[in-house]
A = this chain, B = another copy of it.
Amino acid sequence: MADVAAEAHVSVKTVSRVVNHEPGVRPDTAERVRAVIERLGFRRHDGARLMRQGRTFTIALVVEDLANPFYSQVGAAVEREARIRQHQLITASAEGSPSRERAVIEALVGRRVDGIVVVPADESASSDAVLEASHTPIVYMDRPVRGTPRDTILSDNHGGIRSAVEHLVAHGHRNIAFYGDDPAFWTARQRRDAFVTTQQSLGLPASPRVSMGPHTPVSVHETLSQWTTGPEPITAVITGNNRITLAALLALRELRLPLSLVGYDDFELAALIDPPVTVVHQDPAAMGQKAAQQLFARLLGDESQAQTVVMPTRLIVRASGIRRGTPTR
């Protein structure tokens, strides 16, 4: 900028004015400056600019794994909201590790990002203290965090599971198994609990078949063959997330079992699997958008109390949930 100023025989301030389209520059002066800028290939250094202004026009998204379709859809939505508002998005993966999450967030706070959307790795959110001290606005997503109340965007896990159970019961199922993820995850517990209470409220047989923990096709296979052969054999399965749905599909195919299945999370091509898989659809793009919007509201000075938004889920009925007891192939 100093070079441009010297070359155009003006002060740096005038160059600044031209670059930022500020008023108070005679057209011919501005034109001269622009010509020099063009000739020298000058480009404003936004880092310096933003430092001067105390804002970075940058927000960050911290998730477990960007390659996971759920998070990548969230990421696309957040990036979109950011772009609309002239902000950049920094994305970071914590790989499910609280310590890495903390490190990542410290780095982001060190860069003075204007705000952060986080899918927290654990409920105690040790990183929260960092954010508290730095006053960086934050929105939690998908999972809540203990401690200071924060804006949080959740999915209606309870409603989603209830709709799945009700759907199956409406089609005559009474013995339903639930495969959930590791109960260390808040969402896994939520869905499990929803399953149990819904069963109770619908007056289904007690001692529900519930299997938690990280699941593999093999682990599903084992319990499945057990629960289908004993007394009161199950006729339907509900899976607690994407990966487990996949494991269950493989196990069902292997066992050639004609069970009904409702999966949590929609996935590409769910309609093409035979039978097409009925799913509880949560809308990651909508969640990401909502989270970003909430964050930007804070950035614009919204000082109202932290709020928790629960986003609705939707049951997408495909064949897998209704062909009760009939072989699918």
Contacts and interface: CB of A to CB of B under 8 A. Distances in A.
Interface in A43-67: 43-48, 50-51, 56, 58, 65-67
A56 B67 contact: no
A92 B79 contact: yes
Interface residues of A, number: 51
Interface string A110-123: 11100000000000
B66 A75 contact: yes
B274 A329 contact: yes
A148 to B, nearest CB: 15
A23 B30 CA distance: 49
Interface of A: 41, 43-48, 50-51, 56, 58, 65-67, 69, 71-73, 75-77, 79-80, 83, 88-93, 104, 107-112, 133-134, 246, 249-250, 253, 267-269, 272-274, 285, 329
A112 B47 CA distance: 7
Nearest to A249: B272
A246 B267 contact: no
B51 A79 contact: no
Contacts of A134: 41, 43
Nearest to A270: B269
A43 B110 contact: yes
Given A47-B51, A92-B88, A111-B46, A65 B76 contact: yes
20 contacts: A43-B133, A45-B51, A47-B51, A47-B112, A51-B51, A66-B76, A66-B79, A67-B69, A69-B268, A72-B75, A75-B75, A76-B93, A88-B90, A88-B107, A88-B108, A89-B91, A89-B92, A272-B273, A273-B274, A274-B329
Given A76-B65, A267-B269, A89 B88 contact: no
B88 A111 contact: yes
Given A249-B272, A268-B268, A93 B83 contact: yes
A46 B113 CA distance: 10
A218 to B, nearest CB: 16
Contact of A79 (B44, B91, B249): B91
